Structure 1
Amino acid sequence: MIAPLPAGILFPVEVLQSGWVAVLASFVAVNTILYMALALLKIFPAPRLTHRGRSRRAETRSIHPDDPV
């Protein structure tokens, strides 16, 4: 009978509690939060900071200039 293979790489406890693993885990955590924030910013529309009076033209540029606006 063949022994089952482990599902992943198993490290000893000493390796998992070392400093470089903590630094790597911190980097992954910050990177995940950063990309999540960027993804959420892309979902929502950008805020528009325009004034309604300034964005209107002084005169119409329509094909039919005599039509009411």
Structure 2
Amino acid sequence: MGVLLPDSLLRNDVVAVLAAFVAINTIVYVTLAVAKILPKLYVRDWLSTRNRRSETRSIDPDAPV
């Protein structure tokens, strides 16, 4: 009644290992896809930097500091 594989084959240890591998692989690819969608985060932006210039060195003198 719609069963393609016998129950004894589906309860085999090899099939369980394959199913675990597919599950872990799916989680990894979903994580990578979500990480690619999100904007990049730089630790350097969170830390205070003391070595920033107080004056602009741009060709445009009215450029923001």
Structure 2, gaps ≥5 residues long = none
**Across the two proteins, how many residue pairs are aligned to each other?**
61
For 1:62, give the aligned amino acid: S
**2:50 is the alignment partner of 1:62:** no
Deviations 1:5-60 (A, max 9, x none): xx8x8111111111100000000000001111111111111212224544633543
Percent identity between the two aligned chains: 49
Superposition RMSD on alpha carbons, in Å? 2.7
Counterpart in 1 of 2:12?
Answer: 18
**2:36 is the alignment partner of 1:38:** no
TM-score (norm 2): 0.68
Higher helix share: 2
Greater Cα offset, 42-51 or 31-40 = 42-51
